[in-house]
A = this chain, B = another copy of it.
Amino acid sequence: MNTRFKIAGTASLALLAATGAALAQDTTAAAEAPQYALASETAYIFNTLLFLVGGFLVMWMAAGFAMLEAGMVRSKNVSMQCLKNITLYSIAGLMFWITGYNLMYTGVDGGYMGSVGPYAFDAVGGNALDTGYSTASDWFFQMVFCATTASIVSGTLAERIKLWPFLIFTVILTGIIYPIAGSWEWGAGWLDGMGFSDFAGSTLVHSVGGWAALAGALVLGARTGKYTANGVHPMPGSSMPLATLGTFILWLGWFGFNGASQLAMGTIGDVSDVSRIFANTNMAAAAGVVVAVILTQIMYKKVDVTMALNGALAGLVSITAEPLAPSVWQAVFIGAVGGVIVVFTVPLLDKLKIDDVVGAIPVHLVAGIWGTLIVPLSNSDATYGVQIIGIVAYGVFTFVASMVVWLVLKSTIGIRVTPEEEALGLDKVEVGVEAYPEFGQGSQRV
């Protein structure tokens, strides 16, 4: 259903076929060859351009996560959060080249993983027309998805995890866990063969990130003082405008995330589909915001801006599994349920004493499951049964694999700072650079 590396080629060939056919009516053999070259060259450029523009928009999401998390942690941990986000994006870039791309896309053939080894782009001048797009543009676009998965983990575990175990986990997540899991569907592995459907990654990217974060949160434990005998102690984030900026960046980047997952825009059909995806993606996010605003007003008599932000993100995650097929009404419904999920799941996690600093588990895991589950509503090629199989398979694999890595890290180098270090703040302990050295005594408070 959703292999991610052959579609563009197919689309391009379809265009060629169509063009060729039209021409054949008139001039048969004479005109065919040059028209073929001309048409497919144009389609190749459009497809590649889609990967490049979509890719830089998704790359920009790394900044979105950085700002969202910087705004949602206390000021004594902001430098650390900035450091983790730029480093994890860098690690993802390196690992998705060293092992990731080939594990995910090369020679999976209905199986459970691809081949091992660094990916080699075509040499300069070596790209062939019949691929339908440049190999480097494809690599770039797939890489930024891998980085997104790692960004999700960062937020949940903030304010108490040590830097280096987090970075080591990132190496394994981006170089091994994500690519293997991804190969099952986008690499034409066993789940793709079964007919599982996940257009742009509600499950493959967002819930995989969410499961890895959940495993980490369970192993790591809550922040000291978060859950007390007197209930949940609020630890408000240091900067709402940065959290808002991060959300807007993510929203913007999502047009690339979902839109360019069409993988081709060299025909009017493909570019119209990309357009439809833009509109549906925006609609689902808008519905998520409005629902979260109304619900928090009703439930708490005040509107929680962090819920509005997470409502947008939950709407976006929800529509990601199928942003093309839904009608506008369906897109609004899918996104609105995402907003509901956030409003009810955030306090639920607190009841379970699972400490998720930025709400990544409600947004990326729970809304990701919802989005994947609801695909058959609009896409008749998908079935609820197979969607559930896919959701469970990704959950079990990612949660178990992540849990093993977290437990090994915990029992070897340790993953958590001491209570004294946590009180002092990670910026002083591990970064050595305070985020806001001149404001309000920075890390001395709270």
B-contacting residues of A (Cβ < 8 Å)? 19, 22-23, 25-27, 30-31, 33-35, 37-39, 41-42, 44-46, 48-49, 51-53, 55-57, 59-60, 62-63, 66-67, 70-71, 74-75, 78-80, 82-83, 85-87, 89-91, 93-94, 97, 118-122, 124-125, 127, 129, 134-137, 139-140, 143, 163-164, 167, 236-245, 247-249, 251-252, 255, 259, 265-269, 271-276, 278-279, 282-283, 285-287, 289-290, 293, 297, 300, 302-306, 308-309, 312, 324-325, 328, 332, 427, 429-442, 445-446
What B residues does A271 contact at CB under 8 A?
44-45, 48-49, 134, 137
* 30 sampled A-B residue pairs with Cβ under 8 A: A19-B37, A35-B38, A45-B46, A45-B265, A45-B268, A49-B271, A52-B255, A56-B57, A59-B251, A59-B282, A83-B305, A87-B308, A89-B286, A90-B312, A119-B328, A124-B324, A127-B269, A134-B268, A134-B274, A136-B272, A136-B278, A137-B278, A139-B279, A167-B293, A238-B436, A238-B439, A240-B434, A241-B435, A304-B432, A436-B440
> Roughly how many angstroms separate A102 CA and B119 CA in the complex, as a whole number?
44
Whether B140 and A282, one on each chain, are in contact in the complex, defined by CB atoms closer than 8 angstroms, is yes
Whether A56 and B255, one on each chain, are in contact in the complex, defined by CB atoms closer than 8 angstroms, is yes
What B residues does A289 contact at CB under 8 A?
86-87, 90
Whether A67 and B136, one on each chain, are in contact in the complex, defined by CB atoms closer than 8 angstroms, is no
What's the minimum C-beta distance from A362 to chain B, rounded to whole angstroms?
Answer: 17
Whether A437 and B82, one on each chain, are in contact in the complex, defined by CB atoms closer than 8 angstroms, is no
What B residues does A35 contact at CB under 8 A?
34, 38
What B residues does A49 contact at CB under 8 A?
46, 49, 265, 271
Chain B: CB-nearest residue to A287: B94
Whether A286 and B94, one on each chain, are in contact in the complex, defined by CB atoms closer than 8 angstroms, is yes
Whether A308 and B83, one on each chain, are in contact in the complex, defined by CB atoms closer than 8 angstroms, is yes
7 closest residue pairs by CB, A with B: A63-B248, A302-B432, A137-B275, A90-B286, A136-B275, A82-B244, A134-B275
Whether B273 and A124, one on each chain, are in contact in the complex, defined by CB atoms closer than 8 angstroms, is yes
Chain B: CB-nearest residue to A27: B30
Whether B248 and A62, one on each chain, are in contact in the complex, defined by CB atoms closer than 8 angstroms, is yes
> Roughly how many angstroms separate A53 CA and B94 CA in the complex, as a whole number?
26
> Roughly how many angstroms separate A93 CA and B331 CA in the complex, as a whole number?
12
Whether A268 and B41, one on each chain, are in contact in the complex, defined by CB atoms closer than 8 angstroms, is yes
What B residues does A25 contact at CB under 8 A?
33-34
Chain B: CB-nearest residue to A139: B279
What's the minimum C-beta distance from A132 to chain B, rounded to whole angstroms?
Answer: 10
What's the minimum C-beta distance from A79 to chain B, rounded to whole angstroms?
Answer: 4
What B residues does A94 contact at CB under 8 A?
283, 286-287, 290, 332
